[in-house]
Amino acid sequence: MALALALYAPPSPATHQARVYEQQGRTRDARLMRKMGKVPTGVWITGPAPRRAVARVMKRAKGKVPVLVAYDLPRRHCHTRGYGRWIDGVADGVGARRAIVILEPDALASGCGRRALRGAVRRLGRVPAASVYVDAGHSRWQPAVTMAIRLKRVRAAAFSLNVSNFRATAEVARYGRQVSRRLGGAHFVIDTSRNGRGPRRTEWCNPPGRALGTRPTTTTGNPLIDAYLWIKVPGESDGTCHQGPPAGQWWPRYTLGLARRSQALD
């Protein structure tokens, strides 16, 4: 990804949360949520009718570049029957327009659906303006040599790191370089959505005291890193740990903490 891209900011619950805080007279918190609502984040595509869901995003993006997160293999518990048709839907929905596609967070790092992923890489590779990044977990999951072997097996040209995790950018970048070297210089992107303070030990589920990380950009100053992205929507819960709501649900209290501790919204 050689050019600076204008990334798409989809409708965000943070915008609604800002109105709630305004009604409560919490002007500082409302201001933080308004800013957060304008930041580009990933749009997760999962479940039935992917073509319709993707086409809707592409239309709403109005020429800006959306970050589409194709997430269906873990939802299927790695059962791949019908997955090829599902990926066809994602590809058809993108069409000839520009998009960044993050392919199946957690799948390859957990050893899930390698044959299906190889087919998905091949199919999405025929979408002319899609930049496809196969997810490769994070720096404390699999050794770099292991992930490089797995990425080779699915013929990934590029990869993503740290999706929904909290590892610090510098650490992830080092790991990415180790993987890249074994792939002949493959490029990668890093999810910085919640890594502004790095991890809390090894916790992955709503660890307290975290912060938003570097704002999304395709200008990274590193020739191997194509972008810093907010792939995970930072206000969405990881699960019911730490008294959070179910996974994927908006959690205002946690979101506000991420924003208050961050410099990304300054």
104 in any annotated domain: yes
For residues 233 and 26, give the distance between their C-alpha atoms in angstroms, rounded to a whole number.
Answer: 23
Q: Give the model's pLDDT for residue 9.
A: 98
Q: What's the distance, Cα to Cα, between the start and end of the chain in Å? A: 27
4 in any annotated domain: no
For residues 2 and 114, give the distance between their C-alpha atoms in angstroms, rounded to a whole number.
Answer: 29
Of the pLDDT bands very low, low, confident and very high (cuts 50, 70, 90), residue 173 is: very high
What is the CATH number for 215? 3.20.20.40
pLDDT at 60 over 70: yes
Q: 35: exposed, middle or buried (C-beta count within 10 Å: 0-12, 13-18, 19+)?
A: middle
pLDDT at 219 over 60: yes
What phi and psi, each to the nearest 5 degrees, are found at residue 97?
-90, 160
Of the pLDDT bands very low, low, confident and very high (cuts 50, 70, 90), residue 266 is: confident
* Cβ neighbours, 10 Å, residue 134: 28
For residues 184 and 47, give the distance between their C-alpha atoms in angstroms, rounded to a whole number.
Answer: 35
For residues 244 and 248, give the distance between their C-alpha atoms in angstroms, rounded to a whole number.
Answer: 10
Estimate the crossing angle of helix 13-23 against helix 252-260, to 10 degrees: 90
pLDDT at 2 over 70: no
Of the pLDDT bands very low, low, confident and very high (cuts 50, 70, 90), residue 3 is: low
7 in any annotated domain: no
The contacts of residue 235 (CB under 8 Å, 6+ apart) are 12, 13, 14, 17, 36, 250, 251, 252, 254, 255, 258
Of the pLDDT bands very low, low, confident and very high (cuts 50, 70, 90), residue 43 is: very high
For residues 75 and 30, give the distance between their C-alpha atoms in angstroms, rounded to a whole number.
Answer: 34
Tens of pLDDT, residue by residue over 6-33, are 999 999 999 999 999 999 999 999 999 9
Of the pLDDT bands very low, low, confident and very high (cuts 50, 70, 90), residue 204 is: very high
Q: Give the model's pLDDT for residue 208.
A: 97
8 in any annotated domain: no
CB 161 within 8 A of CB 132: no
Q: Give the model's pLDDT for residue 77.
A: 83
2 in any annotated domain: no
Total structural domains within the chain: 1
265 in any annotated domain: no
226 in any annotated domain: yes
Tens of pLDDT, residue by residue over 221-264, are 999 999 999 999 999 999 999 999 999 999 999 999 999 999 99
For residues 265 and 122, give the distance between their C-alpha atoms in angstroms, rounded to a whole number.
Answer: 38
Rg for the chain (alpha carbons), in Å? 18
Q: What is the mean pLDDT of residues 153-182?
A: 98
pTM above 0.75?
A: yes
Q: What is the mean pLDDT of residues 159-168?
A: 98
What phi and psi, each to the nearest 5 degrees, are found at residue 248?
90, -10
CB 115 within 8 A of CB 79: no
DSSP conformational letter for 206: S
174 in any annotated domain: yes
Domain that holds residue 46: 13-260
pLDDT at 111 over 70: yes
SS3 assignment, position 44: strand
Q: Mean pLDDT score of the chain, rounded to an integer? A: 96
For residues 139 and 165, give the distance between their C-alpha atoms in angstroms, rounded to a whole number.
Answer: 10
